[in-house]
Structures are given as structure tokens and as C-alpha cells.
Amino acid sequence: MNNDHPALDELAPLSPDELYRQWVLTPEGDDGVHGWRKYSLHGWQLSAHPDAYVCELLSAEGDSLGWLLEPLAYLSADGGIVPKKKLTLPVSKNSDVAEFERAFYGRDSAGYSDGTGIMGPWVAIIIGGPGGASISRVYLGASHSIVYHPQKRVVATSHNLVPGIQRNEELSLAYDCLNRKSYFSFGLTAFQSLYRLLPNHYLDLDTFLSERHWPSGALKPKHVGKEGAAAMVDHERRFLDALSSEYNSFKVFASAGRDSRAVLSMLRPFVADGADVILSTSVGSDLESQTDLYVARRLARITGLPHEVKRNTNKNSGNEDYMRRGFVRIGEAASSPGLFSSPGVHQRKPFDSNARFNLAGMGGETGRGPFWKKGVPSEPLTPEFLMEKVKAPLDNAEVKAATTKWLNEIPSEFREKNADVLDLAYIEQRMGCWQAPMSYLSGGMINPGGLSRQSTSPMAEAFCYETMLRLPVEYRAAGVLQRDMVAYGWPELLSDIPFNEPTRLLRLRRFISRSVKNPRVIFGAIRSRLS
């Protein structure tokens, strides 16, 4: 697709009706968005699409603190709940920053989580003022991100809701997302003075500056390996138990991969108790899809669970109008197959207990070093190295400055372990800058169409990310975390079924395909047999 920025600019801003679940925070007195719900507190106004899930935040004494958007569950030491119209936090309006962050993430002063806190792709807006909270900040879920404009003092889900902005032509051309299938990184966007608030950062509403709040220092190793796998499974079962109090059934997107099987292993006690669980696999004609189908069918037989198969037929594929509209809807943040999803499909309403809750495995790959699995550099990481890892344009001064700023903001003691820095980059850049905006596409499936409200990736949560970062580097490099999760959670799911590996006729098909492309594969196989 050509760099037709005028065509994109003609689409923006999209109609408010098309910005499903999106919202904008502005100084009070702004007209807001016509037809959207409006909430006001201490000089600020929140306008939210009718399908957006807005929950009022209250202190322990009942004082209004602000709003919580799109939470899935709140876990406490006593159990878990699905927040509805209101959520009372274990804080007072005069609590300090540490108490608020502990309520959000379950973290102590050293930055270690006890497994409590808010779950999902949430955003918490805390408004200080007379009789209000002691701070005015915006916090994010572990994999989420939003945008903000310091001069206009606007916070929003996409550029569609920030009036009067101008395109940054140089950055738009440098990233060239639609042609390069890339995404904007390190807090940058396609627009002048519009920035992306990254995971593990908060936005100060007084100064409109973004600040890192986690990690606050080096993370001490906690688990030698299998114990970390077990801790993740146990934690996510608490999360799923909270969800099961509102939703009657689950769907697991099953493939031949590690992460989807790890998610399935979390459901064993629920299946044993009679929960309604099905497996779902999307397939095409390619070898990878056929391998997914073969493995998923075997897993269905082992578990006794029903299995649905969906063919990858996207009638909008190749339609540039659908792609452009999807691209604009998510703030031109990233390219994705989900950009082809129809803009006419609405999200489900909250608390639709008759619909299945979708579970995917994204985020779990953090535990096997996706940015360093071929080896950890021995020298200190440079901005250029990080730019190359996230596929950012290497010859742009603004990108290099943003990358340098991101690297320098990380505590020096945390930067001593390159593997941890690269995993943090994966969480914040890949999951935060690429995956998070996809939640504002229409549709309810992972591919195509983004994540609906009734979908989550259980491992893309603060406790799991922390646990993965505290595993030994050698253990992460071995890529066995998900195997150990399955061995702990539902060992029968191993049963000599390899991860991401074709078997039988599918293995022969791969061999033939590789041989056609490279005849030396045949001679290599012969030598292997003879030796």
C-alpha cells in the first residue's frame, strides 16, 4: 500500500459511533463527544463510548477517586470479583503513591507483587482535588497503552479523539507501518506532540509528564524454574475463578504452540467441576495451520472437550478501505491482520454471561526471551540495538532520542542484566505498542478482529510478567516454562505431543517442501541416516 497519508487524514477523525469502547479525558468545560456518556470530577471530564466499560473508583471511606476503564477482575487476599459500576479500593483519599500502586498491582515498596490487584487491559484515572485523592495520575494494566497530548492536556484511546492535531510526516514515513507491517515504538506516534503512554509508566495529570513506576530496581531471582511455572498457574486459576463468577463458559484458542496449551492447563480444575469449556482452532491450508489442527484435535480427545474448527476466510482481506479504517481506528499504531475486520460489528456488552469468555496465550512468550533467544549480548545494550530489535527505523534522530530516553529511564541496577532489559522491551514495545491498540478493533476473535472485552491473555498480567523476569536466564533460554506449566497444571496434555512440531504425514510434507526449495536437505537426511 502506498504512503497515502491524505487518504488516512480524510478518514480521521472517524465517527464516534465507530470508535467502539474508546474514551477521552479532557479538562472540564470541554464539549466532549456527542452521544457518549460523560463523567466529571475535580476539573476533569471523561467522555466514553456507550459500549465502554466505566467503573467508578471509591476509597475505603466511600470518597470518589476517579474511574477504572475495562477491568476484568479485582483480586484481593480474600478472593476475586468482577467489578461492575463501582469498585472500592483498599486505600483512603489521603493514601500515598505506594498505597495506590499496591492496590492496582499488588506490589510492595520493592516492586514485588503478591498476586493481588486489577486484571485485564485496564486504565485507572485518579483525580486529585478538594476532597479527592492525594494524586492526579493515569495508570495502565500490564500490557495496555493509550495516547496523550501535553499541550492540549488530553488523554485518549486514539488520535481520533484529540482535536486539531497535525501529522508528523517524517515519522509516518520512517515507520511506514502499513508497508513494513511494523508498529510505532518507544512512546512515539504518527502525530506531532502526541505520545503513547507505555506499560509500567504513569501519566501525571498536573505536569502531563510520563514517568516509569516499575521496575524500581533490580529484580531478585525468586524461582529456580518449575516453582515459577506452578506459581503462574496457581495465580491464573485465581483470576479464572473470579471470571467464572460472572461468565458461564470459556473458549481456549488451541494450537500446536506452548502458550495455548499452558492456558488450557490452567482450566483443569474447572473442567473437573463441570465447567463449559471448548477448544477453538483457526486453520488455513499452510503447514503451520494443519499442525495446529492436528495437535488441537489430539488435545480435545485427551481432555474430552468439544473442539470447533474455523477456516481462515476473511472476505475483507486485501480491501484497502477496510485496512485504512482499521488502521485509523487504532490511532495508526500498528499493522495487523485485524485491520481487515469490519467496522460494522459491535463489541459485546459487559457481563454477557451467556457468551463464552475467550482465552489466548499471548504474553507467555516473554518467558523464553523472544528478543534474545539466540543469545544475550555481553556488552551494554545500545539504543541502536534496541531499535533494531523492535524494527524501528534506524536512521531517524527522533526515534533514536526516544529510544535513548526509554533506556536511560530504566534503573541502572536493572540494566545490568541485558536479558531483563530485552524482556522489558518486549513487554512495553511489542505488547504495549503493538498488541494493546488492537483491543479497539471490532470483532471478538484474536485473528482477525482484535480482542473483545470478553477475551484475555492470562499470562499478560503484572504477576506473570514479574515471575517470568525473576526466573533464571538459563531457564528462560531453555524455553521450558510452558512445558513445566503444563506438567504442573494438566500433565496429560504433554503425552508425547510436541510443541509446534509436525508429526507423521505433516512431517513428510514439511520435508518435501524443504527439499524442493533446497535439495541439500535430502543429502543431509541421507548422511544422518548413514551415520
Asked if 93 contacts 65 with a C-beta cutoff of 8 angstroms, the reply is yes
For the CA atoms of 443, 449, 453, 457, the dihedral, rounded to the nearest 10 degrees, stands at 150
For residue 528, pLDDT over 60 is answered with no
Q: Say what the pLDDT of residue 336 is.
A: 76
For residue 504, pLDDT over 70 is answered with no
d(CA 241, CA 247): 10
List the single range of 127-131, 338-342, 400-404 with lowest mean pLDDT.
338-342
Q: Say what the pLDDT of residue 526 is.
A: 54
For residue 525, pLDDT over 60 is answered with no
d(CA 57, CA 25): 16
In this prediction, residues 364-381 reach a mean pLDDT of 93
Tens digits of residue pLDDT in 137-183: 999 999 999 999 999 999 999 999 999 999 999 999 999 998 888 89
What are the CA-CA distances from residue 414 to residues 150, 178, 419 (Å)? Answer: 29, 34, 10
Strands 123-126 and 64-69: antiparallel
Q: In 92-245, where does DSSP find H-type helix?
A: 97-105, 169-175, 177-180, 226-244
Confidence bin at 248 (pLDDT 50/70/90):
confident
C-alpha 40: how far from chain center? 29
- In DSSP terms, which residues pair with 48 in a beta bridge? 23, 37
Other CB atoms within 10 A of residue 15 CB? 9
For residue 310, pLDDT over 80 is answered with yes
In this prediction, residues 94-98 reach a mean pLDDT of 95
d(CA 362, CA 339): 18
For residue 68, pLDDT over 90 is answered with yes
d(CA 457, CA 364): 9
d(CA 49, CA 35): 8
Q: Say what the pLDDT of residue 346 is.
A: 47
Confidence bin at 446 (pLDDT 50/70/90):
very low
Q: Say what the pLDDT of residue 268 is.
A: 98
Tens digits of residue pLDDT in 203-235: 999 999 999 999 999 998 887 789 999 999 999
Task: Output 359 or 525, whichever has higher pLDDT.
Answer: 359
- In DSSP terms, which residues pair with 210 in a beta bridge? 203
Confidence bin at 386 (pLDDT 50/70/90):
very high
Q: Say what the pLDDT of residue 518 is.
A: 60
C-alpha 468: how far from chain center? 15
**Terminal C-alpha separation, the chain:** 50
For residue 335, pLDDT over 90 is answered with no
For residue 348, pLDDT over 50 is answered with no
Confidence bin at 452 (pLDDT 50/70/90):
low
d(CA 244, CA 389): 38
**358: region left, alpha or beta (phi > 0 left; psi from -120 to 50 alpha):** beta
Asked if 138 contacts 124 with a C-beta cutoff of 8 angstroms, the reply is yes
Q: Which of 1-10, 25-34, 331-340 has the highest mean pLDDT?
A: 25-34
Q: Among 110, 193, 186, which residue's Cα sits nearest to residue 152?
A: 193
Which residue's entry shows cell 470518589?
A: 64
Mean pLDDT of the chain: 88
What are the CA-CA distances from residue 171 to residues 35, 68, 161, 386, 434 (Å)? Answer: 34, 32, 20, 18, 16
- In DSSP terms, which residues pair with 125 in a beta bridge? 67, 138
What are the CA-CA distances from residue 107 to residues 66, 101, 323, 514 (Å)? Answer: 21, 7, 40, 49
Q: Say what the pLDDT of residue 353 is.
A: 54
For residue 128, pLDDT over 80 is answered with yes
Confidence bin at 314 (pLDDT 50/70/90):
low
What are the CA-CA distances from residue 6 to residues 3, 200, 269, 342 (Å)? Answer: 9, 34, 54, 22
Total residue length of the chain: 531
